[in-house]
A = this chain, B = another copy of it.
Amino acid sequence: MRTIGVVTSGGDAPGMNAAIRAIVRVAQAHGIAVIGFERGWEGLIYDNVMSLTPRSVSGIIQQGGTILRTSRNKEFMTDEGMQKASVTLANNKVDGLIVIGGDGSFRAAHEFSKKTDTRIAGIPATIDNDVYGTDETIGFDTAVNTGVTEIDKIRDTATSLDRVFIVEVMGRTRGFLAAMIGLTVGAEIILVPEVKFQPEEVCDTILKNSAAGKKSGIIVAAEGIGDTHALAKEIQEHTRIETRLSVLGYAQRGGHPTARSRFLASVFGKAAVEFLADGKENLIAALQHGKVTGISFDESCCKSKELDLRLLKLARELSK
């Protein structure tokens, strides 16, 4: 292994820069050079590269976003796109490629691995935590804490005004963020796409809580459950309790990574370099039962990670 290429793909996640730093410095210890491709797969197609040295990744461990930038690129998914990318890798003498991203990025990497001689490894980085095979992804802990901090503030107003707030959090089609945020802010109700619900049940719970003296309430809803505007309206109409919606937006993606996101970035960065240096390929660095290991693109891309429904049950028990 002489040269490793790095690409960040899909949405950005806090800790991606810490992962880039880890890759570069661990590679250096193995005598491997590192270059970065800019703006996701686009950089591979159009040969936009930047040199990454131990000094050039100095001072980025705490920065949100990604210094390599990222984009959502459709051209890469075509035969022609992958062809161009292969040429770029060959031209740059890249014999190992590390893809930092989420499950969409890994599916693309999986396809690409069939068409290139370059060995590929993955590092799971997405605030959504929806990558099969790893207990946690880089950025998840940061996004959870950003959500918790925001909702702690909203509760001030909820309590002061005896209001119900629906807080919509990110997570795309999944409820990992909503479940963990909901549990740790003490939400009265958590709504996730994985569990069907009827608005009437939500209203019933609110009315029961109100009757028991809990006049304000927080509902944490995953963006994947559908129209939260309509839900807020419906709740207010049925319960006659003032109900407001607050959508936690893109701030959830940014900010300084938490210690845990930086820690995962560091150990995953090391693992990915070592996979490649050891001659392994098509592996995603993963955390399983507190240990760093690898999961194949093949397995990770085919399977869907399960949401632990016991979290929701516990949250319900604890909010009474």
Contact = CB atoms under 8 A, between A and B. Distances in A.
A119 interface: no
Copies in the complex: 4
Interface stretch (A82-90, A233-241, A252-260, A276-284): A252-260
A146 B153 contact: yes
A317 B153 CA distance: 29
A291 B291 CA distance: 12
Nearest to A310: B267
A152 B260 contact: no
A162 B39 contact: yes
A254 B64 contact: no
A247 B260 CA distance: 23
Nearest to A287: B290
A110 interface: no
Interface residues of A, number: 81
Given A61-B186, A162-B39, A25 B153 contact: no
A180 B160 CA distance: 26
Interface stretch (A43-51, A66-74, A91-99, A194-202): A66-74
A306 B274 CA distance: 25
A241 to B, nearest CB: 12
A160 B64 CA distance: 9
Contact of A63 (B8, B135, B156, B253): B156
Given A66-B160, A69-B161, A290-B289, A262 B184 contact: yes
Interface in A11-59: 11-12, 14, 21-22, 25-26, 28-29, 39, 54-55, 58-59
Contacts of A219: none
A72 to B, nearest CB: 8
Contacts of A248: 249, 251
A59 B153 contact: no
Interface string A146-158: 1011111111110
A244 interface: yes
Contact of A249 (B160, B181, B247, B250): B247
Given A11-B157, A247-B249, A288-B290, 20 more contacts: A11-B161, A14-B156, A21-B186, A22-B318, A61-B184, A62-B155, A62-B186, A135-B290, A141-B259, A141-B260, A152-B256, A154-B253, A155-B254, A156-B254, A180-B263, A181-B259, A183-B262, A184-B262, A258-B258, A290-B290
Interface of A: 8, 11-12, 14, 21-22, 25-26, 28-29, 39, 54-55, 58-59, 61-66, 69-71, 135, 141, 144-146, 148-157, 159-162, 165, 180-181, 183-186, 213-214, 244-251, 253-256, 258-260, 262-263, 266-267, 270, 288-291, 314, 317-320
7 contacts: A8-B160, A59-B155, A70-B160, A135-B290, A152-B256, A154-B253, A270-B318
